[in-house]
Amino acid sequence: MALYLLWPLVLPQETKWVFYDRSGVILYSEEDYDASFESDLSDFVPWVLAVEDQRFYEHIGVDIKSIARAFYQNHVQERIVSGASTLTMQLVRQSYLENDERNGWYKMRQIMLALRLESQYSKQEIFNHYARSVYLGKGVSGFFQASEFYFSKPLEALSTGEKALLIGILPRPEGWNPIDHPEKAKKRRDLVLSIWEEKELILHEESTYWKDQPVLTNLAASSDITAPHFIYWVKAQLGDVLPKNRQQLHVYTTLDKNWYRQILDMSRKMVPDKDQRNVSNSGVVVLDEETNIRVMLGSVDFFDAEIEGAVNITTSQREMGSTLKPFLFALALEQGRSPLETVDDLRQSFLEGEGAYAPRNYNPHIEHGRVRYREALAGSYNIGAVDLLSDMGVNSFYSFLQTLGFRISKTPKEIGLALVLGSGESRLLDLTRGFSTFLKRGEIFPARFFTTIKDEQQNILLEADQYFPKSKKIMKPSTAEWILHALSDNAGRWSNFPQGNALELNFPVAVKTGTSQDFRDNYVVGTSTDYTVGVWVGNTDGTPMRSSSGLSGAGPLWHTIMRMLHPQGSGSFDWQSERKEVTVCRNAWEDPQSCAETMGEFVLSSDQNGSISEPKISISFPSQGDRFHPQSKITVKVRDEKHKPYQVFLDDQPVESLLHSLTPGRHILSVTQDEASDAIEIFVELE
């Protein structure tokens, strides 16, 4: 043991990161670390230790009292509620240990290395190295660099509130940094201020003053970095993955520097419009056919504090609007439904929890009646989509979106039927990657952001295939192709979009728009045979725009980007599945031999035959044995594969599809259509 403690342990050097684009052109090269600008840390020590390690000068790298306390608290609560890592142990974790599973063996190595570090270096040396190397979010390490990055001033010039802000984000720098998460950063800052007040480092009046102040940052503009949002995001992804103690890390990314600059220039010229539309910002993701990230534009200006430009819009949680509808119709087909089935785009209320949900279409004065899936999706009918989701169930759709990689910020219960209209926040990067699944014929691929990472001697440390997971089959090729077919049909959108709109190009594209509630977010996401492009337009702080839809807000920029990416045009989608293009009646209930209006459809043979000849009907809502209160309003939902008029009965009496003012007791609910019928029991109870 004594020999182990005496065995030399070298404090690691600062790592210099160099980032390249896909052609090997430098995007950003960190300057060699220069300690000459550092000031004396002695005045900074008590502020940090009061929060991170109050017994730093008393323990030997491991705090036995803290370990005992944490063990007791975790045992009593039967979960981890308290940690016991000292500042020395934190330094060990970030400098010497790989990102292994945090098990007992990992903890034992961390303790032994902490003891070894303390036996060879003074407390001041350990603190100084910690202060220079601790990660503080956005790709920034050390308090000196973080002070310059977040506030454009040296560490000794920070105010009490600014110091509290930096120290507060130490446990979770990516999740609590003041740029991406100002509200969480403020809570952490205020907690640190309370601790300092308790430890008598500041007076109550000073603590109160700074708690009343907003969280403000001041980023200094830099001309020597291309794609800063992408660079800092990549660095955050790789920070815990790469080997420790490297002098240099050379990251060869998938980004296209020229395309990034062109799209940045387009966004700056086309998007900001504070006077007419109250729009200030945009975000763009471009994926190639192999789902490499060719462009990640996080805002129109990283260094513009007025628009919160340092926030990476492409990885921020935002409401998705109607861009999620294609995934709902894909799930319907995956569950065995035919695209020839219908939804009811009629003003109606849906029973949800203790109340009712009454969605409206984008034009709240128009409903479209009973329409086939294709028309409902191409026209982006809100009520029809909610009608389908009500039939299928929120939980199944939520799980499907998670399988596709969406990181939804709320639970299915919190969102409810509004999920299909985008009320569950997710990320533009996830949306674009998910949409590429249709192009990949039902397979979901990771969004790759690097090809190779090398050390200072150009030895390969990590290759993309070692890091990124394999693709997964999410849906049948026939399902993916139906979505592409429906969303690439320009004429199919003309019921709700003007002819010659920004979604139409001189080559095939499958595209969907989205507008969140109160015009806070505009989206267009679409794919050619070569590239999938997602565009967001809005205000970073969520301020509503003025009457700016996905089509009018994000559409022109998306259109311009697509034309830039395809100077020679693009090929047509290759239909490889067993689907065939056929002509069907636009109105599902009409006789196929004499219908007044026809439309094109893309079906399986079983879909086509089944829609014509099988006399099958069933009640999909309510379910057998459901119980209701007498004042409940129940909309009867029917699975109708014959697409003809049907009659609803309650206890053998004909009724409308909306049931209300029911008498207590047992009731028989039934539907009939020609020779077919279905019936269930429901119960109405006072309690």
Between CA 343 and CA 386 the distance in angstroms is 9
Average pLDDT of every residue of the chain: 88
CATH of the domain at 661: 2.60.40.10
**CA–CA distance from 34 to each of 39, 121, 157, 197 (Å)?**
12, 22, 19, 34
Same domain, 398 and 471: yes
Confirm if 648 and 657 have CB atoms less than 8 A apart: yes
Residue 213 lies in a domain: yes
Lowest mean pLDDT among 225-234, 293-302, 355-364: 355-364
* Residue 82: per-residue pLDDT: 40
Residue matched to tokens 């929890």: 353
Share of the chain above pLDDT 70, in %: 92
Q: Which of 322, 303, 319 is nearest to 311 (CA)?
A: 303
**For residue 365, pLDDT beyond 80:** yes
**Sheet with 627-628: strands ordered across:** 627-628, 676-684, 665-673, 647-650, 653-655
Residues 6+ apart with CB under 8 A from 175: 181, 184
| Of the residues 206, 224, 242, the one at which a domain ends | 224
Same domain, 100 and 211: yes
Between CA 657 and CA 639 the distance in angstroms is 13
Same domain, 342 and 330: yes
| Of the residues 224, 241, 261, the one at which a domain ends | 224
Same domain, 42 and 91: yes
Q: Packing angle between helix 104-120 and helix 87-95, nearest 10 degrees?
A: 110
Same domain, 178 and 213: yes
Same domain, 71 and 194: yes
CATH of the domain at 413: 3.40.710.10
**For residue 126, pLDDT beyond 60:** yes
Same domain, 128 and 109: yes
Between CA 64 and CA 68 the distance in angstroms is 6
**pLDDT tens string 74-92:** 444 444 334 568 999 999 8
Query: Domain range holding 61?
Result: 2-11+33-224
| Of the residues 204, 224, 244, the one at which a domain ends | 224
Residue 557 lies in a domain: yes
Residues 6+ apart with CB under 8 A from 518: 544
Range 24-45 average pLDDT: 75
Same domain, 599 and 643: no
Residue 22 lies in a domain: no
Residue 395 lies in a domain: yes
Q: Which of 251, 256, 257 is nearest to 294 (CA)?
A: 256
Q: Which of 380, 370, 362 is nearest to 343 (CA)?
A: 370
pLDDT class of 613 with cuts at 50, 70, 90: very low
Residue 28 lies in a domain: no
Residue 230 lies in a domain: no
Same domain, 624 and 604: no
Range 296-300 average pLDDT: 97
Residue 249 lies in a domain: no
**pLDDT tens string 522-577:** 999 999 999 999 999 999 999 999 988 888 889 999 999 999 999 999 999 999 98
Residue 631 lies in a domain: yes
* Residue 630: per-residue pLDDT: 85
CATH of the domain at 70: 1.10.3810.10
Same domain, 53 and 118: yes
Same domain, 446 and 476: yes
Same domain, 449 and 305: yes
The residue ranking higher by pLDDT, 669 or 96, is 669
Confirm if 317 and 410 have CB atoms less than 8 A apart: no
- Residue 81: alpha-carbon gap to chain centroid: 28
**The total number of structural domains that make up the chain:** 4
